[in-house]
Amino acid sequence: MDNHELKEELIAYSKEIGIDKIGFTTASPFSQLKNRLLRQQELGYQSGFEEPDIDKRVTPEMLLEGAQSIISIALAYPAKMTIRVESKKGERRGIFSRASWGLDYHHILRDRLTKLEEFIINKIPNAKLKSMVDTGELSDRAVAERAGIGWSGKNCSIITPEFGSYVYLGEMITNIPFEPDTPIEDNCGSCTKCLDACPTGALIQGGQINANRCISFLTQTKELIPDEFREKIGNRVYGCDSCQTACPINKGINFHFHEEMEPDPVVAKPLLKPILKLSNREFKKRFGSISGAWRGKKPIQRNAIIALAHFKDESAVPDLIDVLQTEASPVTRGTAAWALGKIGGETAYAALRKAKELETDIEVQSEIEKGLNFYNN
Ligand code: B12
Ligand code: SF4
Ligand code: SF4
C-alpha cells in the first residue's frame, strides 16, 4: 500500500472513530516556535506547565527515531450545556471552564489515537508511532497549525473554521512520510475582541500571553492568588473561557458529537459551599473524572472561597470561619480570612479578631490583616 492510499484510508477511518478533524504535517523541526519559546522564557511569560526542554519541544526526531510525519487530530467539545442546572435562590455556584466538562479529554483523545495506531500497525506492522495529548513534549497547537487544522488566533487558541476554537488537540509522530497538508489562512483580521475581553490583560498582544496573568493558569496554582487577580477570578473554580466566548468565530458554535464530553451540570457548575467540606475521597468521587481535578482538591477549594467572596455570600460565613479555625492548609485558611473580610459583617469581624490572636502562620496572619482592613475602608 502506498502512503497516499494509507492517508486516505486513515482520513476515512478517523471519521468512523469520532475524530472531527485530522491533518498531516512533516516531522521537520519547529524553528519559529523555538524562537518563540525562548522569548517567552526570557520574558518570564511561561506557566511552568510546559515541557522544560525546548529542543525536545521543537524537534520531533528527538522523540521518535526516524520521525517523518505528524498526524494532528482535533475533537470538538460542547460550548453550551444541554441540561440546565436547577438554581435555588441564595445557592451560589462556581463554574468549570468548558475544557473541563465531561470526561477528562486526555482519556478521550488517547482512545482515538490508540485506535489510529492500531489501524496503522495493522497495515504496516513495523511502523514506529508515538502519540501525545497535552502532556507530551510537542506544542499541540503548533503541530495543529502546521497540519492545517486551524489558524493560530490572537487569543492564542487554534481556531478551526468548522468548530471554532472549542477543540481539543492531540498528535501522533510517525516514521511514515505522509504527504503534508497546507496550513490554513489566518482569519482574525483587524478584530481584537479577545484582547479586550481578557479580564487580567494576560494577552499582551495578538498571539502572545503572559501565562502568569492568565486566570486559567491562576486557578491551577497551589499558592495564594495574588491580590490583584482575586476579584477578577469571579466564580471560576477552574479555567477561563473569556477570550473564547468573546470570539466572533465561536458565535453559534456548540457541537455535541461525543457523549463522553457531555457535562453533568451539577459537577460543571457546582454548589460552592459544599466544596469547602469535601474529604479527599468525596472530592475524587465527585470530580475525579474531569480534567479540572488534575491539581487535586485544594486549588478548587481556594477558588470556591474566592467565588463566595465574589458573591459576598453571607450564608457562607459560618463555613468560612470553620475553615479559618480548623483547616490545615495555610493557603486555604488565608484565603478564607480574606474572604471573610470581603463579605463583612460582625460575626466575620469577631472571627478575624480572634484568629489574629491565635494564628501562627505568617502568610495567614497577613491575610487576616487584609480581611480586617476591609472594615477600615
Ligand atoms: C501550558 C499550557 C497552558 C498555559 C499557557 C497557555 C499558552 N497560551 O501558552 C495556561 C495554563 C495559561 C493554559 C490555558 C489554557 N489552555 Co492550555 N495548554 C498548555 C500546554 C500544556 C502547552 C502550551 C505551550 O507550550 N505554550 C507556549 C506557547 C508559546 O506556544 P503554543 O501556544 O503551544 O504555540 C503557539 C505559539 O507558539 C504561536 N507562535 C509561535 N511563534 C509565534 C510567533 C508570533 C509572532 C506569534 C504571534 C505567535 C507565535 O503559535 C503556536 C501555535 O498556535 C498545551 C498542550 C501542549 N502540550 O501543547 C495546552 C493547550 C494549549 N491548552 C488548551 C486549552 C483548551 C486551554 C484553555 C482554553 C483552557 C481553559 N478554558 O482554561 C486556556 C486558554 C488560555 C489561552 N488564551 O491560551 C488546548 C488548546 C486547544 C486549542 N484549540 O487551541 C491545548 C492544546 C491542550 C490540548 N491538547 O487540547 N494552557
Ligand atoms: S483564558 Fe481568560 S485570563 Fe487567560 S488569556 Fe483568555 S481571557 Fe485572559
Ligand atoms: S476574538 Fe477576534 S482576534 Fe481574537 S481570536 Fe477571535 S477572531 Fe481572532
Regarding the beta carbon of 76 and ligand 1, being less than 6 Å apart is answered no
* pLDDT tens digit sequence for 93-139: 999 999 999 999 999 999 999 999 999 999 999 999 999 999 999 99
Ligand 2 and 216: CB distance under 6 A: yes
Distance (Å) from CA 207 to ligand 2 centroid:
12
pLDDT confidence of residue 228:
98
pLDDT score of 263: 97
Cα separation, 160 vs 10, in Å, equals: 20
Distance 101 CA to ligand 1 centre (A): 18
Written as one letter, the residue type at 205 is Q
Q: Whose CA is nearest to atom 7 of ligand 3?
A: 188
Phi-psi domain of 129 (left: phi exceeds 0; alpha: psi -120 through 50; beta: other): beta
Pocket test of ligand 2: the residue of 165, 240, 245 to mutate, having most ligand atoms within 8 Å of its CB, is 240
pLDDT value, residue 377: 73
Instruction: Show the domains of the chain with their CATH numbers.
Output: 3-79+99-174 (no CATH), 193-254+263-376 (1.25.10)
User: What confidence category does residue 90 fall into, taking pLDDT thresholds of 50, 70 and 90?
Assistant: confident
| DSSP 8-state code for residue 46 | -
Tell me, using a 6 A CB cutoff, whether residue 249 lines ligand 3.
Answer: yes
Can you point out the beta strands (E) in 221-354? Answer: 236-238
pLDDT computed for residue 239 by the predictor? 98
Q: How much distance in Å is there from the Cα of 248 to the middle of ligand 3? A: 7
Detail the residues annotated as belonging to a binding site for [4Fe-4S] cluster: 188, 191, 194, 198, 214, 240, 243, 247
Q: Which helix (H) or strand (E) holds 22?
A: strand 21-26
**How many angstroms does the Cα of residue 322 sit away from the middle of ligand 1?**
38
Q: What is the mean pLDDT of residues 327-332?
A: 98
Residue type, 311: F
Taking all residues of the chain, what is their mean pLDDT, rounded to a whole number? 97
Q: Which of 134, 181, 264, 322 is catalytic?
A: 134
Whether residue 145 contacts residue 228, with contact meaning beta carbons closer than 8 Å, is answered with: no
- 134 a catalytic residue: yes
- Which of 25, 27, 45 lies closest to 145, judged by CA? 25
The overall pTM is greater than 0.75: yes
- Percent with pLDDT over 70 in the chain: 100
Annotated binding site: 57, 134, 139-141, 152, 155, 158, 169, 188, 191, 194, 198, 214, 216, 220, 222, 240-241, 243, 247, 280-281, 295, 297-298
**What pLDDT shows up at residue 87?**
79
d(CA 363, CA 219): 19
- 242 in ligand 2 pocket by Cβ < 6 Å? yes
CA of 217 to the centre of ligand 3 (A): 20
The answer to whether the beta carbons of residues 246 and 153 sit under 8 Å apart is: no
How remote is the CA of residue 202 from the centroid of ligand 2, in Å? Answer: 6
Burial 45-58 (b: 16+ CB within 10 A, else e): bbbeeeeeebeebb
Residue nearest atom 51 in ligand 1 by C-alpha distance: 142
> At residue 335, what is the residue type?
T
Atom of ligand 3 nearest to the CA of 159: 5
For ligand 2, atom 1, the nearest C-alpha belongs to 240
Beta carbons within 8 Å of 187's beta carbon, 6+ residues apart: 151, 159, 161, 249
Predicted confidence band of residue 64 (pLDDT cuts 50, 70, 90): very high
From 95, 141, 155, mutation site for ligand 2 pocket: most ligand atoms within 8 A of C-beta:
155
Q: Which three cell numbers stand for residue 241?
A: 473561557
Tens digits of residue pLDDT in 224-276: 999 999 999 999 999 999 999 999 999 999 999 999 999 999 999 999 999 99
Length, in residues, of the chain: 377
The rounded distance, in Å, linking the Cα atoms of 117 and 112 is 9
Return the pLDDT at 86: 81
Task: Say if residue 216's pLDDT is above 80.
Answer: yes
